[in-house]
Structure 1
Amino acid sequence: MFIKDAFLKKETTLSFEIFPPKNLDNIFNTIQELKKFNPDFISITYGAGGSSKDRTVEIASTIKNNYGIEALAHLTCAASTKEEIEEIINKLKQSKIENILALRGDIPEGFIQGKEYPYRYAKDLIWKLKEDANLCIAAAAYPEGHNECKNLDNGVRYLKEKVDEGADLLITQLFFDNNNFFEFKEKLYQYNIKVPVVTGIMPAVNKALIEKIQKLSGFVLPDKVKSFMSKYEYNEDDLKKAGIEYASYQMEELLKNKVEGIHLYTMNKHDIVKNILDNVSFK
């Protein structure tokens, strides 16, 4: 099933993101627990190279074919050759994976973009996927801009290019200020972007991880979140409790405003997901 069809049936979709761990047994236990929440899909992050790519395909296949949950496989392109991209696409198709999150990916240090690497941007990969395969394509959105593009209007114009090339839905970078997302959504309307937008939420239960991602991507970290992360930096239980409480508040407000989807970045912690969903009136 194409993920885009889920938005025709539900007011707000629920989905999760997981990443390939070194021990695959652990992730399959996590998937079994996440299945209890009836997600509309689970996305699997994509490693920079080697066996990590194969693990992404394997996990996506297991989610789809063993657990009966739609899988959204991440696929990066900037440092990949045409042959490498085609190989991954064929593996996904063989595993009956119909949904892909098309990403540029990080540029390796010292990398030189040559003609053997034809996919410089996510929009180029989207074009390739739409040309070669019958797939549902998701693309990344940045409600508060990105370190590489702080001008939000420029960012939305680039996003429009992804949609024009064939992106069927958008999934946002994590954010902690819902008002910034609501303003971003209004801007999408101004640019005539009408595909479903899924809001990415990550509970702030790991200070080092949140600060690392913030440094890389440039999302806004509100004073309230900074405050409780600093206050409970050395108290794991209290930080977890505060992070779950804040994520629950975010989700409740988003649900009241009838967002099209909520995508929880789980960090492979199904217990945190359960605690959050116990707090919110998700239907």
Structure 2
Amino acid sequence: MTPAPTERLSRNGAARDISVSFEFFPPKTEESEKSLWECITRLLPLAPQFVSVTYGAGGSTRERTHQTVTRIVRESDVPPAAHLTCVAASKAEVDEVAQSYWDAGVRHIVALRGDPAGGVGSKYEPHPDGYAYSADLVAGLKKIGNFEISVAGYPEKHPESRSLDEDIDILKAKVDAGADRVITQFFFENDIFLRYVDRVRKAGIDIPIVPGIVPVHSFKAVSNFAARAGASVPDWLAQRFDGLENDPATRQLVASAVAAEQVLDLRDRGVTHFHFYTMNRADLVYAICHLLGLRVPAAA
């Protein structure tokens, strides 16, 4: 499953410095595992900078995340990034997981506080013997090994933050603890992301800020996800998907157009790295990468 070199072309065929990364979630069933690996096999030849594998609320998918990440290490040359959270685990338990990743050859962690173990609507409570917040987790990981560490950023602020300024202060604490990259929550209005980048830079944060992009496979599902994540869904987006609930073919075409407009506009405004929340579905993401100019050589 070693990916072939990828040609990166601009509209006029010239070389262009575009890179991508992909996020997957670990499978829950044998059937979903097959779908996941079909997705991974389809996307890895695009030579992503890295691929990340999520971690369920309260660490509920710890073993499946570990199995997926270590298999990517064994079967490809693409660096995997394992999600790791603070929720419902002591420092010793989290450190053990991190050490097991290091021993398996994983050198990149996406460090997150994590959702409350009680689910949506419940209050986050730090584990009494655990890392309280993601900045603490970042610092702890750096003591275990020289991990590359990505952290989350929220262009419209985290739902629990009182203001965007407070949210950026929290981000700065993560960077000061050793974070190497910010991957943002998804958004649909590019101006929101670009204004966020400006404010983050003014706060003295100079590490890469990568936009998170979610293709709209299901408008209802993405709307529900956005409500939980504190991301706004503009009226124009709802109008584009209106009436397509029972028309998957047209919905797919509209989703392609929406995502293409977003990423091409960001590219034209200077963005060179895109992080795609794949939902373990490859075709739409692959098409968007094609529009960005990524090509798999014919020999592959």
| Contact 1:204-1:225 at 8 Å conserved across structures | no
Matched, 1:213 2:225: yes
Match of 1:16 in 2: 22
Match of 2:47 in 1: 38
**Which digits, 9 at most, give the CA deviation of each residue in 1:27-57, with x for residues without a partner?**
2222111112111111100123577211111
Q: 1:25 aligns with which of 24, 28, 34?
A: 34
Letter in 2 for 1:172: T
| Contact 2:139-2:178 at 8 Å conserved across structures | yes
Q: 1:200 aligns with which of 202, 206, 212?
A: 212
- Distance in 2, matches of 1:94 and 1:259, equals 34
Letter in 1 for 2:72: I
Equivalent residues in 2 for 1:40-79 (5 A)? 40-48=49-57, 52-79=61-88
CA RMSD of aligned residues (A): 1.9
Q: 2:110 aligns with which of 101, 106, 119?
A: 101
**Which digits, 9 at most, give the CA deviation of each residue in 1:52-93, with x for residues without a partner?**
211111111121221111101100113211121022112201
Letter in 1 for 2:20: L
- Distance in 1, matches of 2:236 and 2:223, equals 14
Letter in 1 for 2:165: D
Equivalent residues in 2 for 1:174-189 (5 A)? 174-189=186-201
Q: Residues 140 and 50 of structure 1: is their aligned pair in 2 closer, same or farther, counting only changes over 3 Å?
A: closer
Equivalent residues in 2 for 1:23-172 (5 A)? 23=30, 24-48=33-57, 52-109=61-118, 112-116=125-129, 118-172=130-184
- Distance in 2, matches of 1:113 and 1:205, equals 34
| Contact 2:126-2:133 at 8 Å conserved across structures | no
Instruction: Quote how far apart the aligned CAs of 1:253 are.
Output: 1.1
Query: Structure 2 unaligned runs (5+)?
Result: 1-15, 296-300
Equivalent residues in 2 for 1:268-283 (5 A)? 268-282=280-294
Match of 1:267 in 2: 279
| Contact 2:187-2:212 at 8 Å conserved across structures | yes
| Contact 1:76-1:105 at 8 Å conserved across structures | yes
Q: Secondary structure at the match of 1:17?
A: strand
| Contact 2:99-2:144 at 8 Å conserved across structures | no
**Which digits, 9 at most, give the CA deviation of each residue in 1:109-144, with x for residues without a partner?**
27754522x312111100110122111110000011
- Distance in 1, matches of 2:168 and 2:292, equals 30
Q: Residues 114 and 80 of structure 1: is their aligned pair in 2 closer, same or farther, counting only changes over 3 Å?
A: closer
- Distance in 2, matches of 1:150 and 1:207, equals 28
Match of 2:254 in 1: 242
Number of residue pairs matched by the alignment: 273
Letter in 2 for 1:70: P
- Name whichever of 168-177 and 28-37 sits farther off: 28-37
| Bigger relative contact order, structure 1 or 2 (CA pairs below 8 A, ≥6 apart) | 2
Q: Residues 267 and 119 of structure 1: is their aligned pair in 2 closer, same or farther, counting only changes over 3 Å?
A: same
Q: Residues 206 and 131 of structure 1: is their aligned pair in 2 closer, same or farther, counting only changes over 3 Å?
A: same
- Distance in 1, matches of 2:18 and 2:152, equals 18
> Percent identity between the aligned chains?
33
Query: Structure 1 unaligned runs (5+)?
Result: 1-9
- Distance in 1, matches of 2:155 and 2:24, equals 21
After the TM superposition, list the runs of 4 or more consecutive aligned residues in structure 1 that deviate by more than 4 angstroms. none
- Distance in 2, matches of 1:155 and 1:196, equals 17
Q: Secondary structure at the match of 1:173?
A: strand
- Distance in 2, matches of 1:279 and 1:113, equals 43
